[in-house]
Amino acid sequence: MAASDIPACLPPRPVTPPKQKLPAKACDTHAHVFGPAMRFPYAADRSYTPPDAPLQKYLGMLDVLGFARGVLVQGSAHGRDNSAMLDALQREPARLRGVAVADADVSPGTLRQWHVLGVRALRFNHFFRGGQLHYRGGIPLDVAATHAAVMAELGWHLQLWIDVKDLPATIPTLKKLGLSVVVDHMGRTDARAGINTEGFQSLLRAVEEGWCWAKLSGAHRLSLQAPDYPDARPFHEALVAANSERLVWGGDWPHPRVEGEMPDAGRLLDLFHEWTPDAATRHRILVDNPAKLYGFPN
């Protein structure tokens, strides 16, 4: 595809400070850095072109929201080149952790080097539309078996980009790998389908059993009812009820390839507080769980 044919993403909205102050050591576990393209070029074979969202803009967003810590997830616009994300980890080793992507030919030695820099997981794409992976540049799930032994050695988890409609058929493969699994964006289903689908119920059981985690992120990807996404709330509440010890929160800044209205990360954080009324549960999701999952000091 020619660069001129690749859809361009809107820039993120200015972030509104949240209504409620965050606890110390709170962590936003899902965001991306993109570019600057002059230094970190975007992949030629990509599904979208984001606006540059470099480290300093990302840190500014964390500061406005009040997050002491953050986790950067490799975005598919950079394909299989983790350089922008790894550079950010090198520059902010105390504050940041990362989720990388790795082809089958990435060596165990390279994974161990990434661990020293702060990488704590590999992300795999099992998200299909029309029988094909929806995002070009992602690593398919079948590559995970190549890296599973080293991931287990390092204490890494497997982050999975999946529509939960495909989760029931995928669970045997995930369990065979023997790794903790983190599912992106509450399973990225369509909120109009409701919480009683086979796919979402399988996610609830996996979270309840404890071998699977879920990110309370992406309300704006489940729902088109901006800015409050009321039809996404039942998914959030069902996951909290299933097992709050296996949940983390993420804002998904700078919200690449959003299908509806561009969200405000500050409003998304306000919704987290509204939808999670118990203070101890909020602390667990924002502080304790990410410290455990990503290896931040207590």
SS3 for 220-286, per residue? HHHCCCCCCCHHHHHHHHHHHHHCHHHEEECCCECCCCCCCCCCCHHHHHHHHHHHCCCHHHHHHHH
Backbone angles phi, psi at 254, to 5 degrees: -90, 30
Calpha distance 74→56 (Å, rounded)? 17
Residues 33 and 58 sit within 8 Å (Cβ to Cβ): yes
Counted residue by residue, the chain has a size of: 298
Calpha distance 298→283 (Å, rounded)? 13
* Residues belonging to the active site: 252
Structure tokens at 254: 């700078």
